[in-house]
Structure 1
Amino acid sequence: MGRRVHRLRAALGLTQRQLAEPAYTAAYISTLEAGRVQPSEKALRHLAERLGSSYEELATGRPAHLATGLRLRLTEAQRVLATQDPARAAERYAELAREAGRHGLDQERATALVGLGQCALETGELDAAREHFEAAEAVLTGLGVPLPRRVPAIRGRALAHLLAGELRYACYLVENALDELNASGLHDPDALVLLYTAAIGPYMDLGAHARAAQAAELALALAPRVSDPALVARMHRGVARTLIAEGRAAEADASLAKAAAYYQQLQIGAELALCHWMRGYVRAQDGDLERAEAELRTARDMLTARRATLYTHQVGVELAGVLHRRGKDTEAQALLGELLGGLSPERGSVHAGGAHRLLGLIAQRRGDTESAEEHYVRALALLEHAGAAGDLADICRLLGDLLRRAGRTEAALDAYRTGLGHRAAPGTTTLGPPPASPPL
């Protein structure tokens, strides 16, 4: 600080006495510039005014308005991520993270790290995404930042684990944060809606439909208190999944239409693509396969344009399922063959299992029972790795039926028993008590 004062004074051609007067003495300035005294806030503000600087710049050495400028550029990076290529957004976030780190602006650095994590999620780099979110959470925790402001990083971690097939750990992260928020009275509506909607996906994949429905109801009840329209749109997209599970296709479609309207208004391309994905899923569940195919192709094209590879592969599996149901097995099989190279137990295991399930159905339709069994067994291993109870029960039924028709009764019984074990009390065999609910 003494060196900064000396440098600025010399640049202005001021003597120590001219700088000190009228409140201080030249001797005090000399002692300060030599680093032998720590000035008070009052003294620093006096010196900043005389030197034409700011209190923050004199105290920390940071350029004036640096933090404000960084926050503006972070907002622009978020806009790029929402409307353009995640790779371009990642370049901006990386630059901002380095700059914030150089100047000790830890909160801005954490925001940039969360942005890098979001970019990595879109491009399917799950290990990198998890590292960025963990680093952001560690920075914010070290600063003593309240939990509601750490929720985006926690939600990002949970999503990275979900996409990697680690469903139970994703639930643990979300539920732990929900319990801490509600138990401590930190009933921040934005944070709660973000967490409840993040919980719906892993709950559904685990077969915990009742718990997913409860999370959706709580998110809907909190929605009127949320100020961020993008968050409301994300909530409507998540809620639609529970409505689908309950057979309420029309309501699910209406919820997704609301989400699409929000995202179209906000020009958030990735989220709009995910809305088309979910609408395609709703159409497929409702038997409207032609419109389902159109929605899923739209979603896939949008995600491909954004180079969101993992999401593109996942939508491709859904599209292949619709093609199979429409009798287009050759096209479905070719599509699945392209997709499986980008899916693995550690990267989209639930959809990798779904791809093998579809290939098994296609093989079974053409009478190739050996190939069908091979795909069903691969699907079973992938879904067991993820703990996706509902899908596991379905694949066990398909495998059991195939084995029974081949006369392998004991093997069929083993497959059925495995499926029944996963369907027993859905949502209770792998999860603990549900998280506390906020006062509404």
Structure 2
Amino acid sequence: MGERDEPRTIGRRVQQLRVQRGLTQRQLAEPVYTPAYISTLEAGRVRPSDEALRHLADRLGVAFEELATGRPARLVTELHLRLTEAQRTLAVGEAEAAVEQYAGLLAEAEEHQLVEEQAAALLGLGECALETGELAGGRQYFERAEARLADAPLPARVPALRGRAVSHYLAGELRYAVYLLESTIDELNRGGLHDPDALLLLYASAIGPYMDMGAHARAAQAAEFALALAPQSGDPALVARMHRSVARTLLAEGRLAEADASLAKAAELYRGLQLRTELANCHWMRGYVYAQNGELERAEGELREALSMLSAKRASLYSSQVTVELADVLHRRGSSAEAAALLEDVLGGLSPERGAVHAAAAHRLLGIIAEDARDAERAEEHYVRAMSLLERAGAAGDLADLCRLLGDLLRRTGRVEAALDAYRTGLGHRTAPGTTTLGPAPAQPPV
């Protein structure tokens, strides 16, 4: 017997529909049931069987589900179609329009007590919030989605858990983001819940935090597992996201051609799916690849294309992050004044709670530009602010490099003891290959 309302509610519904159609209890009952049974049912004193409800639904001219639950026929199907439409709206970068669609869907799903559809709408609102940089609000939406799915199997809760992790990651809380992802992976593997899409989503999402924490070996391992899972996934958007994440590990290993090939695969999938924001992210990553390879003109072109696509769609947090990357390329091409202007402008939209790692990168680059201009005092100020942001985020790899820059600056200005302290701090933050502070890496899934 499936989900249905209480007998009293069903009884009132049957009576209301019978009266609307001008039927007597006898006419509704015959030829299978008695008028007395209909009277007892309408009074809510008996729980009708599925067979009885099908008979009554047929006589009353309504769908079985509508009689059993009060939901209009085809409601769930229509909601799913509208959810797909809202997903498409968000995918092309129209986050504000998508918010309106998801909010309407949520209200309707709540009215009819459709738990899975409520969770899907909340997930959508969470993704919209990440797109616009409203991290605290996004996290709340993901938490509400997870609560709606409390009784569902773990794989069904993974998108909400992943959303929470990403919101913490973007806020600079790297270790907690990794904890959420790793503990969920381990729970899936321990419980034998080897859902390829769920595991692929988690491994791909862990790569970014691992890289920022300096845990490159662990990031490479997650990329290896993700690549092995990809052929089992039925979600091309998820596979494309995986290719984009894997490119980061290839870059760290100096495998630039393979990283570019991985991004090309992702971009091809995103174009086919018309996922504009994700395609912009591919331009962003390819710009980074070219910058690493010293192809600065090509890097600038890719990053400007990414920034144009993201800015047009008001993806403010991602736009700020791309701007930092573009400023680095401009500085390396000799346009330091333009780079500094971009960085000063973008810092207004970044904070310790919103893009801490990229805010630190902006201060780091402003420090380097100040050093080039022989303004040691201003350079030190930017380096110290960057250190504070990175320490809070736990971005060990970037922090070690920054301590080296600060130490070199202090040594050149004759402050040897302070320079030694900076170097020691940097050494203390060096991360052993493949480790975090969270214990063993997640186990390999069966492939």
Normalised TM-score (structure 1): 0.98
| Matching residue of 1:233 | 240
Among 8, 12, 15, the alignment partner of 1:3 is 12
Letter in 2 for 1:371: R
SS in 1 for 2:234: coil
| Matching residue of 1:304 | 311
Among 351, 355, 359, the alignment partner of 1:352 is 359
Aligned pairs for 1:8-87 within 5 A: 8-87=17-96
Is the CA contact 1:48–1:55 (under 8 Å) kept in the aligned structure 2?
yes
| Matching residue of 1:374 | 381
Letter in 2 for 1:56: E
Is the CA contact 2:218–2:435 (under 8 Å) kept in the aligned structure 1?
no
RMSD of equivalent CA atoms: 0.9
| Matching residue of 2:194 | 187
Distance in structure 1 (CA, Å) of the matches to 2:35 and 2:199: 57
Aligned pairs for 1:209-224 within 5 A: 209-224=216-231
Runs of 4+ in 1 over 6 A off after TM superposition: none
What is the CA deviation profile of residues 34-61 of structure 1, one whole-angstrom value per residue up to 9, with x for unaligned ones? Answer: 2222222221111111111112111111
What is the CA deviation profile of residues 99-146 of structure 1, one whole-angstrom value per residue up to 9, with x for unaligned ones? Answer: 1001000100000000000000000000010000010011111xx211
Among 239, 255, 263, the alignment partner of 1:256 is 263
Among 95, 100, 115, the alignment partner of 1:91 is 100
Superposition deviation, residue 426 in structure 1: 4.2
Superposition deviation, residue 30 in structure 1: 1.4
SS in 2 for 1:23: coil
Distance in structure 2 (CA, Å) of the matches to 1:429 and 1:102: 45
Distance 1:384 1:427, change over 3 A: farther
Identity %: 72
What is the CA deviation profile of residues 145-186 of structure 1, one whole-angstrom value per residue up to 9, with x for unaligned ones? Answer: 111121111111111000000000000111011001111111
Aligned pairs for 1:128-143 within 5 A: 128-141=137-150
Distance in structure 1 (CA, Å) of the matches to 2:173 and 2:18: 59
| Matching residue of 1:117 | 126
| Matching residue of 1:328 | 335
Is the CA contact 2:86–2:101 (under 8 Å) kept in the aligned structure 1?
yes
SS in 1 for 2:360: helix
What is the CA deviation profile of residues 379-398 of structure 1, one whole-angstrom value per residue up to 9, with x for unaligned ones? Answer: 00000010001110111000
Superposition deviation, residue 62 in structure 1: 1.1
Superposition deviation, residue 431 in structure 1: 2.7
SS in 2 for 1:415: helix
Is the CA contact 2:219–2:434 (under 8 Å) kept in the aligned structure 1?
no
Letter in 2 for 1:105: L
What is the CA deviation profile of residues 5-26 of structure 1, one whole-angstrom value per residue up to 9, with x for unaligned ones? Answer: 1111112111110100111111
Distance 1:31 1:424, change over 3 A: closer
Distance in structure 2 (CA, Å) of the matches to 1:84 and 1:201: 22
Among 177, 187, 205, the alignment partner of 1:198 is 205
| Matching residue of 1:101 | 110
| Matching residue of 1:314 | 321
Is the CA contact 1:404–1:412 (under 8 Å) kept in the aligned structure 2?
yes
Q: 5+ unaligned residues in a row in structure 1: which ranges?
A: none
Distance in structure 1 (CA, Å) of the matches to 2:321 and 2:108: 35
Is the CA contact 1:276–1:298 (under 8 Å) kept in the aligned structure 2?
yes
Q: 5+ unaligned residues in a row in structure 2: which ranges?
A: 1-9
SS in 2 for 1:37: coil
| Matching residue of 2:3 | none
SS in 1 for 2:254: coil
| Matching residue of 1:408 | 415
Q: Which moved more, 1:336-345 or 1:3-12?
A: 3-12
| Matching residue of 1:173 | 180
Is the CA contact 1:183–1:436 (under 8 Å) kept in the aligned structure 2?
no
What is the CA deviation profile of residues 255-293 of structure 1, one whole-angstrom value per residue up to 9, with x for unaligned ones? Answer: 000100000111000110110110011111111111101
Letter in 2 for 1:33: E
SS in 2 for 1:423: coil
Is the CA contact 1:360–1:376 (under 8 Å) kept in the aligned structure 2?
yes
Superposition deviation, residue 84 in structure 1: 3.8
| Matching residue of 2:214 | 207
Is the CA contact 1:389–1:426 (under 8 Å) kept in the aligned structure 2?
no
